[in-house]
A and B are shown apart, each in its own frame.
Chain A
Amino acid sequence: MSDPKVRIRDMYKIFGPRDKDVLAHVKNGMGKEELLVQHKHVLGLQDINVDMQEGEITVIMGLSGSGKSTAIRHLNRLIEPTAGEIYVDGEDVMKLSESGLRSLRQEKMSMVFQKFALLPHRTVAQNAAMSLAIRGRDEDEQKSEALRWLDRVGLTGYDGHYPSQLSGGMQQRVGIARALTANTDIMLMDEAFSALDPLIRTDMQDLLLELQTELNKTIIFITHDLDEALKLADHLVILKDGAVVQQGEPQHILLNPNDPYIEDFVSDINRARVLKARSIMQPITAKKFAGDVRANDNLESMIAVSGGETSLTYRVLNAAGEPVGQIDMRDLVRALVPRVSSTAA
């Protein structure tokens, strides 16, 4: 595996006037509550270590107050960490000068916001071209790039409108177009779809996945919605109280939650729809198969294919059509049952 595009090392964030002084207490294991009571400082993030690979969608998930929005703002230093290192393309973001930081924000990282944060006094096209205007590109280039990306996100013909004339979903499309026009390798998306209603949200998730297959950006996506996280994530990071509880491939987390908190979290999920054949397949031992399935088929579709028969065994083929494993339907049914909390067992 190549070097990660973005790498966070030992990052801590404590909110308060003497954050550096109380850092030692946190490193010695003082908890969030204690810190608040004894030192009147709020623990935002502790001991965060995450690698984000190029071309992947890394989803940081957590409930409100878990520090996920704080975490994403550290990447472009909208919030200064108390301690830790952040590397983008191997370069330490913490060591950047003010102008270096500005050019990082202009050229390497764009951002999409939960509340859209469009400029209300500028047209849709001007908003989309914002990053180019900041960099001082000429008007023609601004206009053509903005129109191109507005087109791409499905807003053809809206370039002369003002943000307040658009619906929430359309405003967020402008937000995405603005980030795409910046033509950065990295896109930060801070609960980008949380303010939208469910149908629009699904649309936008599909749009994002579609754009991603084409553009292969490094996307860091924040959400509090596990369904959304599982749909988008190549790499899932789960935060709780400012610390990483578990991170890894989403299917793996779903099958092997290492914490009661995550077990609770994943127990409500429709596992048949989320789990893929490749996640539960076994090495090939059988000689005869009832049929072939694709590695990326979800279990729901396998149940449909088998007609509910549990005595069958299917062969799993990868994208190139080569056999890579087998699935016994009995294993499949077992995989649908969420693992009971280890403490309860």
Chain B
Amino acid sequence: MAFYDGLIDALGLRGSCGDDGGGNLSMADLLAATGDDEAGKEFFPFPSLDNLNEACSNIAQSRDVTKGIENAFLGVKDSLKLVLDPITQPLSWLLDGSLWLFQAVPWFIMIPVLLYITWWVARSVGVTIFVALSLLGLAFIDHYDVTMQTLSIIFVCTGISILLGVPIGIAMSKNDRLQKSVIPILDLLQTLPSFVYLIPLIFLFSVTESKLYGIAIILYAIVPVIRLTDLGIRLVDKDVIEAADAFGMNSRQKLWGVQLPLALPNIMAGVNQTIMMSLAMVVIASLVSAPGLGVNVLRGIRNLELGVGIVAGIGIVLLAVILDRTSKAALDRVDMARKHN
């Protein structure tokens, strides 16, 4: 006899419970059926779904909950896919196109171009030399191709994160209600374990499509740029905004002439974080066929190839330092322009 029989009877629900034993057998039932009956029972079990189900078979079991979520997701999957597929298709093209471009350009053009970009954004001799040494070093141990793949994915995903994130941040800074409703979503995106992003995406899109990892990376990396754009605009000196109003600026002039330039150091800090987070995610995304250094790390784990994994890991660290130093140098440059001292 189940523990909660008495409770069900007392509440007068026996009639609605239907025939006893009609429900699905739980694992515990099967175990109990094989062993002796009362030995495994607790004295006062928690009134969980499974325990209640023993007393009344019309009460759902816990596995019905997970089943329900799965069914619900599969139920909306097709219609969701119908909407999301065409919207996100350009992402696949971008990622594939960029991958092709990064690999099609020969190294003796690509490396100088990258160095020139570094110089252009950072204006720092030290950083440029460091980037040069790192890239040449990686190429020397035949990691040039995977490095370029990773870099290409980061370029595309960070670019899209900035394109989407900055306007969202601006909208949040203008509207308190929007800010209140978006912040929990950002918290969720930031705390959700990065592996969990992949689960629904795998069901929605085929693993062979590059947008699968693209979306995962963007969702993970877009958070800081949104947060810091919002914060940066809110932190702009109220007196300066008042002066802009007092001289009759319209909201577009205020945004482009005052708010964005003064928020730029904060936005750049957000971009720096976004780059770092997309690098972190691009490694995990190798689980769903994202090419690059992450694949080698994965190989190191799967095949216990210690050396391969560690070299790829060091490559990722180097890339991280390159991207961080370059974007930080750019940030400093923006800040310096502000101080003029």
Query: Nearest 3 pairs between A and B by C-beta?
Result: A105-B248, A106-B248, A117-B243
Q: Which one of B11-19, B316-324, B333-341 is at the interface?
A: B333-341
* Chain A interfacial positions (CB closer than 8 Å to B): 76, 78, 101-107, 109-111, 113, 115-121, 130-131, 133-134, 162, 164-165, 178, 182, 188
Of the A-B pairs whose beta carbons lie under 8 Å apart in the complex, a sample of 20, sorted by A's number, is A78-B245, A102-B249, A105-B247, A106-B248, A107-B248, A115-B239, A117-B240, A117-B242, A118-B243, A119-B240, A119-B257, A120-B338, A121-B261, A121-B337, A121-B338, A131-B247, A131-B248, A133-B257, A134-B248, A162-B340
Which residues of B in the span 222-255 have a Cβ within 8 Å of any Cβ on A?
237, 239-240, 242-243, 245-250, 253
Whether B171 sits at the interface, judged by CB under 8 Å, is no
Are B243 and A102 in contact, CB atoms less than 8 angstroms apart? no
Q: Which residues of B contact A106 (CB under 8 A)?
A: 247-248
Report the separation of the CA atoms of residues A111 and B248 in the bound assembly, to the nearest whole angstrom: 11
Whether B312 sits at the interface, judged by CB under 8 Å, is no
Distance (Å) between the CB of B340 and the closest chain A CB? 4
Whether B258 sits at the interface, judged by CB under 8 Å, is yes
Closest to B261 in A: A121
Whether B56 sits at the interface, judged by CB under 8 Å, is no
Q: Which residues of B contact A121 (CB under 8 A)?
A: 261-262, 337-338
B interface SS class? helix
* Chain B interfacial positions (CB closer than 8 Å to A): 237, 239-240, 242-243, 245-250, 253, 257-258, 261-262, 337-341
Q: Which residues of A contact B338 (CB under 8 A)?
A: 120-121
Distance (Å) between the CB of B258 and the closest chain A CB? 6
Quick one: given A110-B247, A134-B253, are A117 and B340 in contact (CB under 8 Å)? no
Report the separation of the CA atoms of residues A117 and B262 in the bound assembly, to the nearest whole angstrom: 13
Quick one: given A117-B240, A121-B262, are A165 and B340 in contact (CB under 8 Å)? yes
Given contacts A102-B250, A131-B247, A164-B339, 11 further A-B contacts (CB under 8 A): A78-B242, A105-B248, A110-B246, A110-B247, A117-B243, A118-B243, A119-B240, A119-B258, A131-B248, A134-B248, A178-B247
Give the residue of B237, B247, B341 whose beta carbon is less than 8 angstroms from that of A182. B247
Q: Which residues of B contact A116 (CB under 8 A)?
A: 239
Give the residue of B242, B247, B262, B337 whose beta carbon is less than 8 angstroms from that of A130. B247
Are B248 and A103 in contact, CB atoms less than 8 angstroms apart? yes
Report the separation of the CA atoms of residues A144 and B64 in the bound assembly, to the nearest whole angstrom: 78
Are A113 and B248 in contact, CB atoms less than 8 angstroms apart? no
Report the separation of the CA atoms of residues A101 and B237 in the bound assembly, to the nearest whole angstrom: 23
Quick one: given A119-B240, A119-B258, are A164 and B250 in contact (CB under 8 Å)? no
Closest to A162 in B: B340
Are A134 and B340 in contact, CB atoms less than 8 angstroms apart? no
Q: Which residues of A contact B249 (CB under 8 A)?
A: 102, 134
Q: Which residues of B contact A113 (CB under 8 A)?
A: 239, 242-243, 246
Closest to A108 in B: B248
Report the separation of the CA atoms of residues A113 and B237 in the bound assembly, to the nearest whole angstrom: 13
Closest to B339 in A: A164
Give the residue of B237, B248, B250 whose beta carbon is less than 8 angstroms from that of A117. B237
Give the residue of A102, A165, A188 whose beta carbon is less than 8 angstroms from that of B248. A102
Are B247 and A111 in contact, CB atoms less than 8 angstroms apart? yes
Q: Which residues of A contact B245 (CB under 8 A)?
A: 78, 105
Closest to A161 in B: B340
Give the residue of B237, B239, B341 whose beta carbon is less than 8 angstroms from that of A164. B341
Among A106, A118, A121, find the residue whose CB has the most chain B CB atoms closer than 10 A: A121
Q: Which residues of A contact B341 (CB under 8 A)?
A: 164-165
Report the separation of the CA atoms of residues A55 and B258 in the bound assembly, to the nearest whole angstrom: 33
Report the separation of the CA atoms of residues A30 and B249 in the bound assembly, to the nearest whole angstrom: 38
Q: Which residues of A contact B248 (CB under 8 A)?
A: 101-107, 131, 134
Q: Which residues of B contact A76 (CB under 8 A)?
A: 246
Report the separation of the CA atoms of residues A133 and B249 in the bound assembly, to the nearest whole angstrom: 10
Report the separation of the CA atoms of residues A131 and B248 in the bound assembly, to the nearest whole angstrom: 8
Report the separation of the CA atoms of residues A178 and B340 in the bound assembly, to the nearest whole angstrom: 21
Quick one: given A110-B247, A182-B247, are A120 and B239 in contact (CB under 8 Å)? no
Report the separation of the CA atoms of residues A133 and B244 in the bound assembly, to the nearest whole angstrom: 12
Report the separation of the CA atoms of residues A103 and B247 in the bound assembly, to the nearest whole angstrom: 9
Report the separation of the CA atoms of residues A102 and B249 in the bound assembly, to the nearest whole angstrom: 7
Closest to B241 in A: A117
Are A78 and B253 in contact, CB atoms less than 8 angstroms apart? no
Quick one: given A113-B239, A117-B240, A120-B262, are A78 and B246 in contact (CB under 8 Å)? yes
Q: Which residues of A contact B340 (CB under 8 A)?
A: 162, 164-165
Quick one: given A113-B239, A121-B262, are A134 and B247 in contact (CB under 8 Å)? yes
Q: Which residues of A contact B243 (CB under 8 A)?
A: 111, 113, 117-119
Report the separation of the CA atoms of residues A178 and B243 in the bound assembly, to the nearest whole angstrom: 11
Quick one: given A115-B239, A121-B261, are A105 and B339 in contact (CB under 8 Å)? no
Q: Which residues of B contact A102 (CB under 8 A)?
A: 248-250
Q: Which residues of B contact A78 (CB under 8 A)?
A: 242, 245-246
Report the separation of the CA atoms of residues A107 and B253 in the bound assembly, to the nearest whole angstrom: 17
Report the separation of the CA atoms of residues A118 and B341 in the bound assembly, to the nearest whole angstrom: 17
Distance (Å) between the CB of A129 and the closest chain B CB? 11
Report the separation of the CA atoms of residues A102 and B250 in the bound assembly, to the nearest whole angstrom: 7
Report the separation of the CA atoms of residues A133 and B247 in the bound assembly, to the nearest whole angstrom: 10
Q: Which residues of B contact A134 (CB under 8 A)?
A: 247-249, 253
Closest to B249 in A: A134
Distance (Å) between the CB of A83 and the closest chain B CB? 22
Closest to B246 in A: A111
Closest to A127 in B: B243
Distance (Å) between the CB of A70 and the closest chain B CB? 13
Report the separation of the CA atoms of residues A133 and B256 in the bound assembly, to the nearest whole angstrom: 13
Distance (Å) between the CB of A124 and the closest chain B CB? 11
Distance (Å) between the CB of A93 and the closest chain B CB? 13
Report the separation of the CA atoms of residues A111 and B250 in the bound assembly, to the nearest whole angstrom: 16
